[in-house]
């Protein structure tokens, strides 16, 4: 075969066409290799010295070396806020003890805080109705402060003293209301049905999810409580956090206090003229279809819940990443923005009374909605309530927003809350306007719906059976309670 040297790279042409050289001896080869390595090391050292000199010469003469904070400082601050918030609300809203809160509300929390929280020291001030949690020697402790009727507010990281609030009042846990059920607590006498008792026992014995921790169950049928049970440390007048059941409370309150149409653009003053987010409607927000970006799937909003950041600082700042109304993405921010937009639409005086427009008329006397330090209700999560009060809420929904013969919700609003419209979750139950939609695919009658929250909070309504199932939990870690199977078993037992 003839090889044309013109088609080869220059190095190969030289190798092929150059005259042959005498073979080099092994000793000469070793010496050349050693000489090469010495030269290579000396060259590298000269480069490193030159780079060091350049760095020194380029630095200002008075430059200071600033120690960077530990990567975990902010995480510890949020963890301290988590403990302050749960201690404050648990003690002053619910009458719980720190030991009980450690064992239940603070057990199995988010992994990044789970190991930090137990090591943080908390100071409870019963006179100021305040909790302080130390997290860093250079910064003030994280604080949460309580006031009567408003629950606890978590202050920003770095706050030295509690902000001025209304008089704290006496932290008393309300007892039984002498009025008859459902307005009050008189006349409640659950019937003894062995099959129902066994089913409810299974909820407390982990039959509906490994590692779950049920702390309360109330079953309503035909308007009356037919079964009720609580774990140690809880009871009919001991509240715990609703988590995302608060979203369904928000949807109800917005319906009762609507200003304008659900299809009107959301009233968010930070979205100025020309801002594409002005096309987001209240309906989009209630249906998790805003199209807004958020930092995590599910959008945990830890900065607002535990970091002391206000709704009008963070929730309003996220940009669009999808056209409004084209994508379902479960996000706390959508609910927070819906409530914030309602604040702008109805005015401050009416907004201050927003929770009472629902809680007072239907007897939810052991329920409190909390705010951030700017006064924004955090109705995506931060509501404390009892199993009985949530049973009242479920009964209110079951009765189409009518209570003791009086219509409180506009006619048709429950249809909006329980009807799928627009984009839906990829799998599992459907979604209406702040309520989850169940049916035969989940083993339940068509038309069933539920409010659901973190750590196993559920209010399941089965209209065809006139049944409300409330399950309160403190499920830690990866534990998941199977509410559909439990509700189906309850209906079968009845």
- Phi then psi for 177, rounded to 5 degrees? -85, 125
Strand-pair category, 406-407 with 383-385:
unpaired
Please answer whether residues 104 and 147 qualify as being in contact, where contact means their C-beta atoms are separated by less than 8 angstroms. Answer: no
Residue 491 has pLDDT above 70, yes or no: yes
| Residue 168, pLDDT score | 58
At residue 296 the predicted structure's pLDDT band, cuts being 50, 70 and 90, is confident
**Residue 321: C-alpha distances to residues 82, 267, 278, 326, 438 (Å):** 30, 20, 14, 11, 29
| Residue 265, pLDDT score | 97
Angle CA 438–441–444, to nearest 5: 55
Arithmetic mean of pLDDT, 322-335: 96
Q: Would you tell me how many other CB atoms lie within 10 Å of the CB of residue 53?
A: 10
Please answer whether residues 153 and 166 qualify as being in contact, where contact means their C-beta atoms are separated by less than 8 angstroms. Answer: no
What is residue 225's three-state secondary structure?
strand
Residue 148 has pLDDT above 70, yes or no: yes
Residues in Cβ contact with 119 at an 8 Å cutoff, skipping those fewer than 6 apart: none
d(CA 386, CA 94): 9
pLDDT digits (tens, 9 = 90+) for 62-101: 444 545 445 489 999 999 999 999 999 999 999 999 999 9
Reply yes or no: is the peptide bond before residue 423 cis, omega within 30 of 0: no
- Phi then psi for 459, rounded to 5 degrees? -130, 100
What is residue 320's three-state secondary structure?
strand
Please answer whether residues 204 and 164 qualify as being in contact, where contact means their C-beta atoms are separated by less than 8 angstroms. Answer: no
The residue among 458, 446, 105, 427 whose CA lies nearest residue 248 is 458
**Residue 472: C-alpha distances to residues 195, 215, 219, 262, 480 (Å):** 20, 6, 12, 31, 12
Arithmetic mean of pLDDT, 372-379: 98
pLDDT, the chain, mean: 88
d(CA 363, CA 194): 30
Strand-pair category, 368-369 with 436-437:
unpaired
Partner residues linked to 451 by β-bridges: 459
The larger pLDDT score, comparing residue 37 to residue 474, is at 474
At residue 237 the predicted structure's pLDDT band, cuts being 50, 70 and 90, is very high
The residue among 106, 131, 100 whose CA lies nearest residue 118 is 106
Percent of the chain with pLDDT over 90: 80
- Residue tagged 């003053």 (tokens): 269
The residue among 483, 22, 470, 492 whose CA lies nearest residue 218 is 470
* Beta strands in 348-407, from DSSP E residues, in sequence order: 368-369, 383-385, 402-403, 406-407
Q: Which burial class, exposed, middle or buried, applies to 193 when counting CB atoms under 10 A from its CB (0-12, 13-18, 19+)? A: middle
Arithmetic mean of pLDDT, 263-271: 97
d(CA 149, CA 75): 30
Partner residues linked to 406 by β-bridges: 403
What pTM did the predictor assign? 0.85
Residue 372 has pLDDT above 90, yes or no: yes
Provide Rg for the chain, Cα atoms. 31
Residue 421 has pLDDT above 90, yes or no: yes
What is residue 260's three-state secondary structure?
coil
At residue 479 the predicted structure's pLDDT band, cuts being 50, 70 and 90, is very high
* Beta strands in 409-448, from DSSP E residues, in sequence order: 430-431, 436-437
At residue 11 the predicted structure's pLDDT band, cuts being 50, 70 and 90, is very low
Percent of the chain with pLDDT over 70: 83
Partner residues linked to 376 by β-bridges: none
Consecutive H or E run containing 459: strand 457-462
Strand-pair category, 402-403 with 449-453:
unpaired
d(CA 435, CA 259): 21
DSSP conformation letters of 145-189: EEETTTEEEEPPTT--SPPP-S-----PPP---SSBTTTSSBT--
At residue 38 the predicted structure's pLDDT band, cuts being 50, 70 and 90, is low
What is residue 13's three-state secondary structure?
helix
What is residue 219's three-state secondary structure?
strand
Residues in Cβ contact with 116 at an 8 Å cutoff, skipping those fewer than 6 apart: 72, 75, 76, 79
What is residue 113's three-state secondary structure?
helix
Residue 210 has pLDDT above 80, yes or no: yes
Q: Which burial class, exposed, middle or buried, applies to 304 when counting CB atoms under 10 A from its CB (0-12, 13-18, 19+)? A: buried
At residue 2 the predicted structure's pLDDT band, cuts being 50, 70 and 90, is very low
d(CA 409, CA 412): 8
Arithmetic mean of pLDDT, 9-31: 42
Structure tokens at 191: 């019937």
Structure tokens at 265: 């653009």
Residue 252 has pLDDT above 70, yes or no: yes
- Residue tagged 């923005």 (tokens): 337
């Amino acid at each position: 075969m003839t090889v044309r040297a013109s088609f080869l790279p220059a190095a190969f042409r030289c190798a092929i066409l150059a005259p042959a050289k005498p073979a080099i001896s092994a000793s000469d080869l070793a010496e050349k290799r050693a000489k090469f390595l010495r030269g290579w090391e000396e060259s590298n050292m000269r480069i490193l010295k030159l780079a060091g000199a350049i760095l020194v010469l380029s630095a200002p003469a008075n430059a200071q070396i600033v120690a960077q904070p530990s990567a975990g400082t902010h995480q510890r601050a949020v963890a301290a806020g988590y403990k302050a918030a749960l201690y404050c609300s648990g003690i002053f809203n619910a009458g719980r003890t720190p030991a009980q809160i450690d064992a239940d509300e603070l057990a199995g929390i988010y992994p990044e805080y789970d190991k930090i929280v137990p090591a943080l020291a908390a100071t409870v001030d019963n006179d100021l109705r305040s909790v302080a949690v130390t997290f860093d020697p250079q910064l003030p402790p994280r604080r949460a402060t309580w006031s009567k009727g408003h629950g606890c507010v978590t202050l920003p990281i770095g706050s030295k003293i509690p902000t001025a609030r209304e008089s704290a009042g006496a932290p008393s846990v309300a007892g039984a209301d002498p009025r008859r059920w459902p307005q009050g607590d008189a006349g409640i006498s659950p019937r003894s049905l062995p099959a129902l008792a066994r089913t409810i026992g299974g909820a407390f014995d982990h039959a509906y999810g490994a590692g779950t921790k049920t702390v309360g169950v109330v079953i309503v049928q035909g308007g009356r409580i037919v079964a009720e049970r609580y774990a140690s440390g809880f009871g009919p007048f001991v509240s715990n956090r609703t988590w995302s059941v608060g979203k369904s409370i928000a949807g109800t309150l917005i319906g009762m206090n609507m200003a304008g149409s659900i299809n009107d653009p959301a009233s968010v003053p930070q979205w100025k003229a020309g801002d594409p987010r002005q096309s987001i409607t209240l309906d989009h927000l209630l249906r998790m279809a805003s199209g807004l970006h958020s930092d995590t799937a599910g959008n945990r909003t830890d900065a607002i819940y535990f970091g002391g950041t206000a709704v009008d600082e963070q929730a309003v700042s996220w940009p669009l990443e999808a056209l409004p109304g084209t994508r379902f993405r479960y996000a706390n921010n959508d609910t927070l923005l819906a409530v914030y937009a309602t604040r702008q639409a109805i005015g401050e005086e009416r907004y201050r009374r927003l929770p009472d427009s629902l809680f007072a008329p239907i007897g939810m006397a052991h329920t409190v909605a909390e705010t951030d330090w700017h006064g924004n209700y955090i109705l995506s999560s931060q509501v404390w309530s009892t199993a009985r009060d949530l049973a009242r809420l479920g009964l209110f929904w079951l009765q189409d927003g009518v209570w003791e013969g009086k219509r409180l919700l506009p006619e048709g609003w429950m249809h909006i809350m329980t009807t799928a419209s627009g984009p839906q979750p990829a799998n599992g139950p459907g979604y209406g306007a702040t309520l989850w939609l169940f049916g035969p695919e989940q083993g339940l009658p068509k038309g069933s719906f539920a409010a659901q929250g973190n750590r196993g909070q559920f209010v399941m309504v089965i209209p065809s059976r006139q049944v409300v199932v409330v399950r309160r939990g403190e499920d830690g870690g990866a534990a998941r309670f199977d509410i559909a199977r439990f509700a189906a078993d309850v209906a079968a037992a009845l």
